[in-house]
Amino acid sequence: MPSTPFSRRTLFAGTAAGAIALTATGQAHAAAIGVDDRVNWGTYLGGLDPVWASVPTTFYQGPFLGNGGLGAAVYRISNKLAFKLGDTRVRDHQGTGGTNFGNARLPIGHLTLNTTGNVTDVDLRLSLHNAELTGTVTTASGVLNISAYVHAEQDVLVVTATVKSGNEKVAWTFTPSKARSPRLDFKPAPSGLKTNPDPKVSGTTCTQDLAAGGQTVTKWQINGDTMYATVAHTFPDKTANAKATQTLAAATSNAQLRNEHVRWWNSFYPKSFVSVADTRLESFYWIQLYKLASATRRDRPVLGTCGPWLEPTPWPGTWWNLNVQLEYWILNATNHQELDSLSYSLDRSRDALVANVPSQYRSDSMGIARTTQEDLKGGVAQPGADGDPECGNLLWALHNAWLGYRHSMDDDALRNFVFPLLRKAVNYHLHFLTKDSKGVYHLPKTFSPEYASSKDCNYDLALLHWGCTALIQANQRLNLNDPLVPKWRDVLDNLTKPPQDSTSGYWIGADVKFNKSHRHYSHLLWFYPLYEHDVTTNAAHRDALTKSVKHWLSFTGAQQGYTFTGSGSMYALLGDGDKARGQLVTLLDKYVQPNTMYKESGPVIETPLSGAQTMHDMLVQSWGGIVRIFPAAPAAWASVTLHNVKTEGAFRISAVRKAGKTVFVRVKSEAGEPLRLHPGNLPGPVEVRELPSGNQVSFQQNADGTLTIPLARNQDVVISTKGANPDLVIEPAGANTKRYWGMP
């Protein structure tokens, strides 16, 4: 049976059920103990690498490289191996038609390894550890050795190709793409949209001037067997050529560039470790972390739906009503705030967020539209307005920022970034709340993403409720004495209850029942990811979520991949690890492509990334002030290893599960916050020892199965069965001998 947050039978072995016990310190001469990290990262990740024994012919089959700005997708085009270039910073600036047309992300073109013979076979491996593609390419004229990477910190694609056998020769050509919005292949052009000039190729430089000003320049150079390429985009100035020239001038030594690149990536992964005895999902998980680091960095543009790899798509921008939020969740547990371009973009775009709301509300409010580019400019509708006013997106994006704060407990970030933006985002909704004759607050019509508009829309109600709760918590922590605290409390006390019924669960809103297939779970944000309703202690909430998920999934026509990641995380919240894993297996079977990308009408990057977060939700949860270890580990994951997984409260968690039982839990506090821990199905009675001294640490056993452990900043402890003294070994949960991803 999967472990659940409620099981405390083993924890209280030898203690009266429901009793509260306090264990005192002791052992003046305890033996020193420590964590033994035995992970060989090169070997471990090497066993999870995607490989190609067949020639990839589409983006969804091929390897992908990137550094958060420049990207390259590798697959066969016109019988040759091509490196299709993309860049998160390359877009139009006309304005006409907004994000999807006049401001759309623009395609660049592809570099072709112009071999004498057509490509007939490949033997390729994408090393996750080194972020490098290596192997052989076979053509009708011979065999080439090849290696390729996009430098981790410089905007340079480096490809080395040498003849291994036969009469093959190596040359490079560049084929530019037209600088037009990909959406034009799906929708007609808006009136006034200008056609950009044709690109001009001269020698090893391609210049793409834009009708609105600015330009994109692609430049490449050959040095022996190695090709170096870069892309530069400038606006409004036409200085991209100088920028590209400068970048390539610094790219003179492949050996030096590769050493820098490999060093960055080798130091990237060990910040956390997650291993489950389920090779297909384990490999999928680590490819998602590679993907996110290839797609974005803190100082790069906020992620668009495609990442840096722009393919045919009706969505050439950033979507704020689900996509962007799901894209970033995994960076918290993995401790990779250096990838948080979402928070950085929100912080630096405050003026745009203010300008997005109607002028009469700009003194105290902020908002964001459904879609924007990296400047975050996009007018937000007014609640109650005609059409479908989608108003809650900024609140949801700021929940991501809040999670970033909660995992770091950085009070400066809370004071200077999260609180002031959240205050203004909540204010926008407060302007439109009205009380009825019974003193209950209601919202006018707003839009539940991709479903319908309704009064008292659950999407907005849940986000507003969370926002007021978070503001009150922040105000108390920072001692701000904000004058709006009484208003926030009034809203929490008197906000209308979520529209629902006892049969089907939560509705879209007061005017709209949930009665058709819907890929989004916007009506269920109360439960996940906001956790405003606690299903572990409140039977009514648990029943409501159970019915809501069942009803939601009963309509199958419009489901998509993130239907299964979202429902998987909700099953994890309910403690049902087997169902959660089942949703992930369905995701992989039906929706995820050979290289772990995902597509609907075009590539959308958020769904596989959120699948990795579902795995986190099965293994560690930390909402509501409790850190829960293995809250929904499925029976299939009898062996699990976690190391330095970050939780809310800024705790670093290590834990090992073997034969379906928790062996030990190690917690290091980075901020000295109060720790309340549920140790999963760790057999009791338990003890807490300090690392490295081995001294006993006082703790309190609570009636709900949790432990309260007072920890100072940087204090490190291990929780285990009393007297067991387990070896604190961190190593992979199982052997990975089968390849699942790529085209093995």
**Per-residue pLDDT for 565 more than 90?**
yes
Average pLDDT of span 694-719: 97
Write out pLDDT tens, residues 283-306. 999 999 999 999 999 999 999 999
Looking at the structure, do residues 501 and 632 belong to the same domain, yes or no? no
Distance of alpha carbon 627 from alpha carbon 268, whole angstroms:
25
pLDDT at residue 25 tops 50: no
Phi/psi of residue 615, nearest 5 degrees: -65, -40
Average pLDDT over the chain, rounded to whole? Answer: 95
**DSSP symbols for 43-100:** HHHHTT--EESS---STTTS-EEESSSEEEEEEEETTEEEEEEEETT-B----TTGGG
Q: Where are the alpha helices (DSSP H) in 444-520?
A: 458-478, 485-494
Whether residues 380 and 490 share a domain: the answer is: yes
Strands (E), 328-474: 371-372, 434-435, 441-442, 446-448, 452-454
pLDDT at 13: 30
- Looking at this protein, which amino acid is placed at residue 515? N
Provide the total of helices (H) and of strands (E) in the chain, helices listed first. 17, 37
Instruction: Tell me whether residue 566 is in a domain.
Output: no
Task: Tell whether the torsion through CA atoms of 397, 400, 406 and 408 is positive or negative.
Answer: negative
Tens digit of each residue's pLDDT (9 = 90 or more) over 132-161: 999 999 999 999 999 999 999 999 999 999
What's the number of CA atoms in the CB half-sphere (13 Å) around residue 308?
A: 28
Q: How are the residues of the chain apportioned to helix, strand and coil, as percentages rounded to the nearest 5?
A: 30, 25, 45
Q: For residue 621, which amino acid is it?
A: Q
Do residues 439 and 479 both lie within one domain?
yes
Q: What's the pTM value of the predicted model, to 2 decimals?
A: 0.95
Predicted pLDDT at 115: 96
173 and 84 in a common domain: yes
Within a domain: 70 = yes
Structural domain span for residue 671: 21-41+628-730
Task: Give the contacts of 583 (CB within 8 A, at least 6 positions apart).
Answer: 564, 565, 567, 568, 571, 614
Domain boundary among 559, 592, 616: 559
pLDDT (tens digit per residue) in 596-652: 999 999 999 999 999 999 999 999 999 999 999 999 999 999 999 999 999 999 999
| Residues 413, 493 within the same domain | yes
Choose among 473, 460, 393: nearest CA to 433: 460
22 or 17, greater pLDDT: 22
Q: What is the CATH number of the domain that holds 720?
A: 2.60.40.1180
pLDDT at 278: 96
CA 288 – CA 279 distance, rounded (Å): 14
Q: Is residue 583 part of a domain?
A: no
Residue 723, classified by CB atoms within 10 Å of its CB into exposed (0-12), middle (13-18) or buried (19+), is exposed
* Chain centroid to CA 170: 39
- Whole-angstrom Cα distance, residue 394 to residue 525? 14
Is 552 in the same domain as 659? no
Looking at 193, 221, 248, which one is the last position of a domain? 248
Distance, in Å, from the CA atom of 251 to the CA atom of 257, rounded to the nearest integer, reads 7
Please state, as a whole number, how many other Cβ atoms lie within 10 Å of the Cβ of residue 224: 8
pLDDT tens-digit readout, 495-529? 999 999 999 999 999 999 999 999 999 999 999 99
Is the per-residue pLDDT at 239 higher than 60?
Answer: yes
pLDDT of residue 418: 98
* 29: confidence class by pLDDT, cuts 50, 70, 90: low
Structural domains of the chain, count: 3
Cα angle vertex 570, ends 566, 573, to 5°? 140
Label residue 252 by pLDDT band (50, 70, 90). confident
Model confidence at 442, pLDDT cuts 50, 70, 90, reads very high
Q: In this structure, is residue 8 part of a structural domain?
A: no
| Residue 26 pLDDT exceeds 50 | no
Phi-psi region at 327: left, alpha or beta (left = phi > 0; alpha = psi -120 to 50): alpha
d(CA 213, CA 513): 48
Distance of alpha carbon 31 from alpha carbon 10, whole angstroms: 26
pLDDT of residue 234: 98
Q: Vertex 283, ends 278 and 288: CA angle to 5°?
A: 130
Residue 654 lies in a domain: yes
Give me the CATH number covering residue 323: 1.50.10.10
pLDDT at position 17 over 90: no
Pairwise CA distance, residues 580 & 617, whole Å: 9
Query: In what helix (H) or strand (E) does residue 268 lie, and over which residues does it extend?
Result: helix 254-268
Same domain, 202 and 332: no
pLDDT band (50, 70, 90) for residue 4: very low
User: What is the predicted pLDDT for the residue at 151?
Assistant: 98
How many other CB atoms are found less than 10 A from the CB of residue 408? 20
Question: What is the end-to-end Cα distance of the chain in Å, rounded?
Answer: 34
Q: Any alpha helices (H) in 510-597, and if so which ranges? A: 539-553, 561-573, 577-590
Q: Are residues 365 and 480 in the same domain?
A: yes
Give the C-alpha separation, 625 to 707, whole Å.
12
Q: Are residues 553 and 642 in the same domain?
A: no
Query: Does residue 705 sit within a domain?
Result: yes
- Sign of the Cα pseudo-torsion (289, 291, 293, 296, in order): negative
Rounded average pLDDT over 194-212: 98
* Residues 499, 512: Cα–Cα separation, whole Å: 9
With beta carbons less than 8 A apart as the criterion, state whether 152 and 64 touch: no
CATH code for position 183: 2.70.98.50
Domain annotation covers residue 55: no
Residue 678, helix vs strand vs coil: strand
Q: How confident is residue 7, by pLDDT bands cut at 50, 70 and 90?
A: very low
Verify that 326 and 463 share a domain, yes or no: yes
Q: What's the rounded mean pLDDT across residues 24-34?
A: 65
DSSP for residue 607: H
Residue-level pLDDT at 28: 46
Same domain, 243 and 135: yes
Give the domain-ending residue among 218, 248, 278: 248
DSSP 302: P
Q: Are 29 and 82 within one domain?
A: no
Looking at residues 448-462, what average pLDDT do you find? 97
Q: Which amino acid is at 67?
A: N
Q: Which amino acid is at 363?
A: S
Inside any domain, residue 711: yes
Integer Cα distance of 654 and 274 in angstroms: 9
The pLDDT value given to residue 736: 85
Torsion of CA 453, 457, 458, 461, to 10 degrees: 140
pLDDT at 737: 84
